[in-house]
Amino acid sequence: MATTRRYDVKDLALAKEGVRRIAWADQNMPVLAAIRERFESEQPLAGFRIAACLHVTTETANLARTLKAGGADVVLCASNPLSTQDETAAALVEEYDVSVFAINGEDNDTYYRHIEAAVDHKPQITMDDGADVIGVLHAHRREQLGDVIGGTEETTTGVIRLKALERDGALGFPIIAVNEAKTKHLFDNRYGTGQSTVDGIIRATNKLIAGSKVVVAAYGWCGRGVANRARGMGAHVIVTEIDPLKAIEAVMDGFEVLTMERAAEIGDIFVTATGNRGVIRAEHMERMKDGAILANTGHFNVEIDIPALRSMATDTREARHLVDEFTMEDGRKLYLLADGRLVNLAVAEGHPAQVMDMSFANQALSAEFIVGNAASLERKVYDVPEDIDTEIARLKLETMGVDIDMLSEDQAKYLASWDEGT
Ligand code: ADE
């Protein structure tokens, strides 16, 4: 299909390879494929304009295909300047008739110009991974807020921002917090971030994980995924936390828990997964060993204090692709991966399709839910309805060929009673 759409991608000649890679991911996204088939016949999104600001990956391409199958008019821009797969972007424009504004390695100005281009699409539904489209709409495109019937948010960081907007009474339209669905964060954040983060560190450095000391900042769903996968490959894993409960969990899961100040002296590889800024600071970098590797897997590149690292360095150079070497005054060298951006998407390919299948099934069904319930939704951040979450789990299990037992009538009655005991 030759396109007449608006777009800004690296090179349409990459489309053929993009199609091949999108098909590969599709083989592992059966739940989304089943939704796509139903959407094709029922057209629940017919005529709705959707602006999606997501990582432009093969998995996202299959979501865009699903939204289009449901009748939506979709524009896609990148939710991170380094995560775009250029072949995927080309294929979406050339073969799947989706407007895409995303180029891997785009500078900050281009990144925001692309978001503005998506907002120019006059969306009625927004889909964010980090709340950037919503940010632009609320900051200087407020005249468009009234056109939007609802939006979805993919990630923990975005949900935190949107809840703050809701608390301030400033949220312009209802949001479905896809991240909060169990079929999303229990699998995508944990197993997806876990595997793809370790994958990104290995692709960038080709370092041996076995026997290395890996420091994981934060024991949320992403952090525990990284900690477990690194341990699985033979690392000695140290966790840092600010939450006493999560720290106890980490200890009882068998990890060493230390403050960053102490961990800084010990670690070979540092991974931040906190969603907060200034987690690894100058006072930590001053104590780190020669050769320490610094990576971030949180949404924004603020977790490692990169300006401090730059100002401490007497010399810098690119040691390998996406590996910057910083020489300290005392001669130690520290290595920063992917400019402190999400290492799992900037260096590796993000979460595997098997988990994105459930995340993006939540996205597609939440868009359908917004259309069907627009009249009753308020300007609040909502969880994904439980019946959608449960149905996705049921479908996923079915596609995995796993059968489970069912409650008998007697067992259901027992669980619903309060007066039966020994
Ligand atoms: N976020 C993390 N991994 C992803 C992927 N593979 N596609 C889209 N968004 C993601």
Q: What is the pLDDT of residues 243-300, one digit of tens each?
A: 999 999 999 999 999 999 999 999 999 999 999 999 999 999 999 999 999 999 999 9
Out of 24, 29, 55, mutate this one to test ligand 1's pocket (max ligand atoms within 8 Å of CB): namely 55
- Atom of ligand 1 at shortest range from CA of 350: 3
The residue nearest atom 9 of ligand 1, judged by CA position, is: 55
- pLDDT band, residue 397 (cuts 50/70/90): very high
Kindly give the distance from the C-alpha atom of residue 55 to the centroid of ligand 1, in angstroms, as a whole number.
Answer: 6
Find the DSSP H helices in 144-243: 156-167, 182-184, 193-205, 221-232
**Mutation test of ligand 1: which of 28, 354, 359 has the most ligand atoms closer than 8 Å to its C-beta?**
359
Q: Which residue from 178, 193, 258 is spatially nearest to 225, judged by alpha carbons?
A: 193
Tell me if the domain spanning 12-184+351-400 has CATH number 2.20.25.90.
Answer: no
- Cα of 57 vs centre of ligand 1, distance in Å, is 7
Average pLDDT over residues 377-398: 98
pLDDT value at 93 more than 70: yes
At residue 83, does pLDDT exceed 80?
A: yes
pLDDT average, residue stretch 185-200:
97
Of all residues in the chain, what percent carry a pLDDT higher than 70?
99
d(C-alpha 169, C-alpha 313), whole Å: 44
Phi-psi region of 377 (alpha: psi -120 to 50; beta: other; left: phi over 0): beta
Q: Is the pLDDT of residue 399 over 80?
A: yes
Residues with CB under 6 A from ligand 1: 54-55, 57, 59-60, 192, 345, 350-351, 356
**Chain-centre distance for alpha carbon 298:** 9
Report yes or no: 273 and 216 within 8 Å, Cβ to Cβ. yes
pLDDT of amino acid 1: 54
* Alpha carbon distance 288, 268 (integer Å): 8
Instruction: Provide the mean pLDDT of the chain.
Output: 97
pLDDT band at 411 (very low <50, low <70, confident <90, very high): very high
- Torsions phi, psi of 400, nearest 5? -85, -5
| Gap from CA of 41 to ligand 1 centroid (Å) | 27
pLDDT at 419 (0 to 100): 86
Rounded to an integer, what distance in angstroms lies between the CA atom of residue 69 and that of residue 154?
A: 21
pLDDT-based confidence at residue 3 (cuts at 50, 70, 90)? low
Helix boundaries (H) for 181-312: 182-184, 193-205, 221-232, 244-252, 260-266, 282-285, 306-312
User: Which atom of ligand 1 lies nearest, measured to the CA of 57?
Assistant: 7
Pinpoint the residues of the chain covered by CATH 3.40.50.720: 190-346
**Alpha-carbon torsion (85, 87, 90, 92), positive or negative:** negative
Ligand 1 centroid vs 92 CA: distance in angstroms?
A: 16
Distance (angstroms) between ligand 1 centre and the Cα of 129 equals 9
**Within 293-352, where are the H helices?**
306-312, 343-346
**Residues 48, 72 contacting (CB under 8 angstroms):** yes
Query: Of 21, 24, 54, 57, which is best to mutate to test ligand 1, by the most ligand atoms within 8 angstroms of its C-beta?
Result: 57
Q: Given this model, what pLDDT does residue 261 score? A: 98
Residue 10: is its pLDDT beyond 70? yes
Q: Return the CATH number of 190-346, one of 2.60.40.10, 3.30.70.120, 3.30.70.1150, 3.40.50.720.
A: 3.40.50.720
Ligand 1 centroid–CA 356 distance in Å is 7
Provide the pLDDT confidence category of residue 5 given band limits of 50, 70 and 90: confident
Q: Which ligand 1 atom is nearest residue 56's CA?
A: 8
- Which pLDDT does position 272 carry in this prediction? 98
Confidence of residue 420 (pLDDT cuts 50, 70, 90): confident
Ranges assigned E (strand) in 262-408: 269-272, 293-296, 313-320, 323-328, 333-337, 381-383
Residues of the chain with CATH 3.40.50.1480: 12-184+351-400
Give the number of the atom of ligand 1 that is nearest the alpha carbon of residue 193: 2
Ligand 1 center to 289 CA (angstroms): 32
Centre of ligand 1 from the C-alpha of residue 278, in Å: 24
Residue 4 pLDDT grade (very low, low, confident, very high; cuts 50, 70, 90): low
